[in-house]
Amino acid sequence: MSVEVNLEKERKYNKWIILLSIVIPAVVVVLFNVKIPNVAPLSFLPPIYATINGITAVLLVWAVLAIKKGNRKLHENIMKTAIGCSVAFLAMYVAYHMTSESTKYGGEGVIRYIYFFILLTHIALSIGVIPFVLITYVRAIAGNYERHKKIAKITFPIWLYVAVTGVIVYLMISPYY
Residues 6+ apart with CB under 8 A from 28: 90, 93, 94
Q: Which H/E stretch holds residue 38?
A: none
pLDDT, residue 176, reads 92
Cα distances (Å, whole numbers) of residue 170 to 43, 48, 71: 13, 10, 33
Q: How many domains does the chain have?
A: 1
Residue 1 confidence (pLDDT) above 60: no
* pLDDT above 70 (res 2): no
| 47-63: pLDDT as tens digits | 999 999 999 999 999 99
Amino acid (1-letter code) at residue 11: R
Q: Which domain holds residue 141?
A: 3-176
**CA torsion 177→52→86→119, rounded to 10°?**
40
Which pLDDT tens digit goes with each residue over 76-126? 999 999 999 999 999 999 999 999 998 999 999 999 999 999 999 999 999
Assign residue 74 the CATH number of its domain: 1.20.120.80
Task: State the pLDDT at residue 5.
Answer: 67
**pLDDT for residue 3:** 64
109: alpha, beta or left, given left = phi > 0 and alpha = psi -120 to 50? Answer: left
pLDDT in tens, 3-42: 676 788 788 899 999 999 999 999 999 998 899 999 999 9
